[in-house]
């Protein structure tokens, strides 16, 4: 029997494309974009099309697996559920809900994304990590600067007269946003791509400004220096919405274009020209990527770009903004998880980068309940690292990964078109 299933892409991507998947005898035969989707309009990237290979890959798990003395053996879903239920009951009885480590991350960005955390909240709580190994520094930076992370929707670039694509390569990572950029360029919107390398996007759009890796903050601060010293900043916006402007100006003295040029590798003339162009534009939008904040002081890099946008007054108007992420729908999507926290009776957290510390603890034969007291919040047996020497480890995955090989139980979840 052949049928067509409408589903959303399971990958962690801005676009969340809508697929029309042709399935015959429980096998994916074809993946196409849904032409009725208002943003993706039937176009999907090569990564999305390649999901058909993942589904039919000979190494994809077909059954749940349980570890025995002889190695992993096939088991049934009924046995899996009984084993996990018995283990959870035992851990709760001995250590309480916080004796369970819940380690999960993101992929599919829809309403079902947080089901795992909702489950453990309803079970009474857990131990889970806080922070991020991905975009967290930038999220924290914008929350500190603006109170929340509410970038403009992608279509807003059609309202811009200047677009700065900063550390982002949408031709490779966000096909539909790239299409909007091309449309904006046809409408005479000037586009500048700031990137250490000449990415596919930099080759295809506007002007490329190449800087040394890790020097984005210096470039942003030097542009702000030009804006302030040449009296090109928005005095009204500064007076009404900015705190600490005088101290910020003192700090900018360190980043005149000549000094910044030695740091960034961008010529002083280019810095001045770009700063003047950005300050003078009526509706310039900055669209940041997620690579430049994944190093020491990366959050301050995002804050420097935020500050540049703010002193120019290019915030809160159509076509503008220092756009990092858009969480406008987050309160709606996260409501079920928020409501489930009412059932939590015990929880602990630990910073995400401390996973190695947990490894060292386990190598010293420490127990679950010896986590530092200051680590406080929730958990999962969907183990994230083969380095955990926990009593019982459950991994959810389609393949026998390095992590899965260290588990007691490997649960094969449904592929995306079955979900």
* Residue 165 domain boundaries: 136-323
Same domain (yes/no): 257, 278: yes
Same domain (yes/no): 338, 311: no
Kindly state the average pLDDT of the residues 388-394: 66
Query: What angle do the packed helices 216-229 and 268-280 form, to 10 degrees?
Result: 60
More confident residue, 369 or 231: 231
Please tell me the predicted confidence (pLDDT) of residue 254.
96
16-39 pLDDT tens trace: 788 888 888 877 888 888 898 877
Please tell me the predicted confidence (pLDDT) of residue 78.
92
256-300 pLDDT tens trace: 999 999 999 999 999 999 999 999 999 999 999 988 888 778 899
Cite the DSSP H helix spans in 253-297. Answer: 257-264, 268-280
And the tokens for 258? 């000549």
**Reading across the β-sheet that carries 27-33, which strands appear in turn?**
2-8, 18-24, 27-33
- pLDDT at position 373 over 60: no
Burial (CB < 10 A; 0-12, 13-18, 19+), residue 342, is exposed
Q: Residue 36 sits in a domain of what CATH number?
A: 2.20.25.90
Q: Residue 402 sits in a domain of what CATH number?
A: 3.40.50.740
Same domain (yes/no): 152, 301: yes
Same domain (yes/no): 75, 196: no
Confidence of residue 390 (pLDDT cuts 50, 70, 90): low
Please check whether residue 172 lies inside any domain of the structure: yes
Mean pLDDT of the chain: 85
Task: Report which of 154, 153, 29 is spatially closest to residue 417, judged by C-alpha positions.
Answer: 29
181-237 pLDDT tens trace: 999 999 999 999 999 999 999 999 999 999 999 999 999 999 999 999 999 999 999
Residue 157, Cβ neighbours under 10 Å: how many?
A: 25
CA atoms of 355 and 16, how far apart (whole Å)? 30
Q: Please tell me whether residue 10 adopts helix, strand or coil conformation.
A: coil
Same domain (yes/no): 254, 370: no
Contact partners, residue 43, CB within 8 Å, separation at least 6: 33, 175, 176, 179
Please check whether residue 114 lies inside any domain of the structure: yes
Same domain (yes/no): 312, 388: no
CA atoms of 49 and 29, how far apart (whole Å)? 11
Please check whether residue 60 lies inside any domain of the structure: no
| 3-state SS, one letter per residue, for 182-195 | HHHHHCCCEEEEEC
Please check whether residue 97 lies inside any domain of the structure: yes
Please tell me the predicted confidence (pLDDT) of residue 101.
86
Any idea which residue has 């007691």 for tokens? 408
Query: What angle do the packed helices 257-264 and 268-280 form, to 10 degrees?
Result: 110
Please check whether residue 314 lies inside any domain of the structure: yes
Final residue belonging to a domain, choices 270, 305, 323: 323
* Portion of the chain with pLDDT greater than 90, in percent: 48
CA atoms of 159 and 409, how far apart (whole Å)? 52
Same domain (yes/no): 254, 186: yes
143-197 pLDDT tens trace: 999 999 989 989 999 999 999 999 999 998 888 899 999 999 999 999 999 999 9
How far, in Å, are 101, 120, 127, 184, 197 from residue 347 at the CA level?
A: 10, 10, 6, 48, 44
How far, in Å, are 25, 238, 242, 247, 316 from residue 234 at the CA level?
A: 63, 6, 11, 17, 13
Calculate ∠ Cα 14-18-20, nearest 5°: 150
Please tell me the predicted confidence (pLDDT) of residue 404.
87
Same domain (yes/no): 206, 261: yes
CB-based contacts of 106-112 (< 8 A; 24+ apart in sequence): 106/12, 107/10, 107/11, 107/12, 108/8, 108/9, 108/10, 108/11, 108/12, 108/16, 108/416, 109/8, 109/12, 109/13, 109/16, 110/8, 110/16, 110/333, 111/333, 111/336, 112/419
Same domain (yes/no): 295, 183: yes
Same domain (yes/no): 279, 151: yes
Please check whether residue 168 lies inside any domain of the structure: yes
CA atoms of 296 and 281, how far apart (whole Å)? 32
Count how many domains the chain has.
3
Q: Residue 289 sits in a domain of what CATH number?
A: 3.40.228.10
Same domain (yes/no): 146, 168: yes
Please check whether residue 178 lies inside any domain of the structure: yes
- pLDDT at position 113 over 90: no
Final residue belonging to a domain, choices 11, 29, 55: 55
Confidence of residue 350 (pLDDT cuts 50, 70, 90): confident
CA atoms of 275 and 384, how far apart (whole Å)? 44
Same domain (yes/no): 225, 347: no
In this structure, what are the phi and psi dihedrals at residue 208, rounded to the nearest 5 degrees?
-100, 125
Residue 5, Cβ neighbours under 10 Å: how many?
A: 14
Q: 205 near 218, Cβ under 8 Å? A: no
Please check whether residue 345 lies inside any domain of the structure: yes
Final residue belonging to a domain, choices 275, 306, 323: 323
């Amino acid at each position: 029997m052949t049928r067509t299933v409408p589903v959303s892409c399971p990958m962690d991507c801005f676009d969340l494309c809508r697929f029309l998947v042709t399935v015959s005898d429980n096998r994916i035969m074809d993946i196409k974009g849904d032409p009725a989707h208002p943003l993706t309009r039937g176009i999907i990237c090569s990564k999305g099309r390649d999901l058909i290979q993942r589904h039919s890959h000979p190494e994809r798990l077909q059954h749940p697996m349980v570890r025995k003395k002889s190695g992993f053996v096939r088991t049934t879903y009924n046995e899996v559920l009984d084993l996990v239920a018995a283990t959870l009951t035992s851990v709760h009885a001995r250590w309480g809900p916080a004796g369970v480590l819940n380690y999960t991350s993101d992929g599919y960005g829809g309403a079902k994304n947080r089901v795992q955390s909702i489950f453990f909240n309803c079970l009474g709580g857990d131990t889970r990590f806080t922070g991020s190994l991905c975009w967290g520094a930038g999220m924290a930076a914008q929350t500190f600067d603006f109170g929340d992370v509410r970038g403009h929707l992608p279509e807003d670039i059609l309202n811009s007269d200047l677009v700065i694509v900063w550390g982002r390569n949408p031709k490779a990572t966000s096909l539909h946003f790239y299409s909007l950029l091309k449309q904006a360029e046809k409408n005479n919107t000037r586009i500048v791509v700031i990137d250490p390398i000449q990415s596919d996007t930099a080759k295809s759009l506007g002007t490329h400004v190449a800087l040394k890796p890790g020097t984005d903050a210096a470039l942003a601060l030097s542009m702000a220096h030009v804006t302030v010293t040449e009296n090109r900043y928005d005095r009204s916006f500064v007076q009404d919405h900015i705190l600490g402007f005088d101290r910020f100006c003192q700090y900018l003295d360190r980043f005149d274009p000549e000094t910044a040029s030695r740091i960034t590798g961008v010529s002083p003339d280019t810095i001045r020209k770009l700063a003047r162009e950005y300050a003078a534009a009526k509706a310039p939008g900055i669209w940041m990527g997620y690579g430049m904040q994944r190093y020491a002081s990366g959050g301050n890099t995002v804050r420097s770009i935020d500050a540049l946008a703010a002193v120019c007054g290019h915030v809160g108007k159509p076509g503008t903004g220092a756009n990092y992420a858009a969480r406008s729908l987050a309160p709606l999507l996260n409501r079920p998880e928020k409501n489930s926290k009412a059932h939590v009776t015990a929880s602990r957290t630990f910073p995400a980068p401390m996973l190695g510390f947990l490894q060292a603890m386990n190598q010293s034969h420490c127990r679950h309940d010896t986590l530092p007291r200051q680590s406080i919040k929730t958990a999962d047996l969907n183990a994230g690292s083969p380095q955990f020497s926990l009593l019982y480890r459950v991994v959810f995955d389609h393949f026998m990964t390095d992590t899965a090989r260290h588990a007691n139980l490997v649960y094969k979840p449904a592929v995306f078109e079955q979900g």
